[in-house]
Amino acid sequence: MKDSGGFLVLPWSNSGAAAEPGEENRTGLLLRCGAVLGLSLICFAVMRRWIAGGVCRCSVRLDGKTVLITGANTGIGKETSRDLARRGARVVMACRDLTRAERAAEEIRRSTGNGNVVIRHLDLSSLYSVRQFAKDFLDSEDRLDILINNAGVMMCPKWLTEDGFETQLAVNHLGHFLLTNLLLPKLKSSAPSRIVNVSSIAHRGGRIDFEDLFFSRRPYSALESYRQSKLANVLFSSEIARRLKGSGVTSFSLHPGVIRTELGRHVEGWFPMLGAILRLPSLLLMKTPWQGCQTTLYCAVTPGLEDRSGQYFSDCAEQQVAPEGRDEATARRLWEESAKLVGLKETC
């Protein structure tokens, strides 16, 4: 098309024009969403790093050393066994379920190249089983350099063991109390040696009810029972450290963190819908078993901790134990009561 002056007039084109308001809004929205997503990913990465906690960076070897770990076929016990096997230790996995234990041990042997990983049957809810295990261990093993009291139950229903004890206190404390005392001759002859007791931050707010340890008279509370047993771990650890001072055997207690393991299965059993709702957040917000075993490893292998015997650790660092865990009179009384309950006439 030509105008009267002979110029060529072309149809109007939008190619060089400014974007329409709707397109500007969409572009701005995409930029804002991208910024929010990027910031969220950065925050998530920082949060996961914080949740993971400390890492044991000690590279010490354990060739020629023997380590005993209770509850070693799953969770943090299994990862602890794997790490110590990788360091060259002879690892004795003390487990209740031998079928699962053998599968775990074989996996650890393959992944570490250490064939010196063995399993032994131990049921911490049975005093007979604990005594039989200790006898066999003392008869067959030359040494014991590190004892890791790792096994435990969490917030289970009110069950009684064959000895008539409430299960959480029986497994988490009394079984380990008896086991440790029976193995002391081997620990002392292998000194310097260590006892590592896996407790929990749940010891805060716990109370040792000496008048009703097994909830025979008061209403049973799975949470109160769990707290009592974890407080008992801390008190036992500090008291045995006091009693063994100068022997070359040291003791430490620790909080491993909130971890994705089978330990919380009873809680999910009570509230299956809650368990299903929280499963995805738990995958994001809880430690992995590898992350959860780092403080155990730190207490087991880090050189120079001998003067910190009896102390409490979390995230690979010494932490202040709750006031309940610093009561020396309660620790001594718990020791005496525990010895009576498990039938120990002589202790350290």
Higher pLDDT, 270 or 23: 23
- pLDDT value of residue 65: 98
| Structure token pair of residue 53 | 């906690």
- pLDDT value of residue 279: 54
pLDDT in tens, 258-278: 875 554 554 555 556 555 555
- pLDDT value of residue 41: 57
Domain boundaries, the chain: 58-342
Taking the C-alpha atoms of residue 158 and residue 221, their distance in angstroms, rounded to an integer, is 8
pLDDT in tens, 51-98: 547 999 999 999 999 999 999 999 999 999 999 999 999 999 999 999
Q: How confident is the model at residue 199 (pLDDT cuts 50, 70, 90)?
A: very high
* Catalytic residue of the set 220, 226, 298, 312: 226
- 226 is known as an active-site residue: yes
Contact present, 186 and 141 (Cβ < 8 Å): yes
- pLDDT value of residue 265: 54
Q: What is the DSSP string of 299-321?
A: HHH-TT-GGGTT-EEETTEEEPP
Taking the C-alpha atoms of residue 75 and residue 263, their distance in angstroms, rounded to an integer, is 8
Percent of the chain exceeding pLDDT 90 equals: 74
pLDDT in tens, 210-229: 999 999 999 999 999 999 99
Residue 293 neighbours by CB under 8 Å, 6+ apart: 76, 77, 79, 80, 83, 256
Q: Which fold has domain 58-342?
A: Rossmann fold (3.40.50)
Rounded to two decimals, the pTM is 0.83
Q: How confident is the model at residue 348 (pLDDT cuts 50, 70, 90)?
A: confident
Pairing of strands 312-314, 317-319: antiparallel
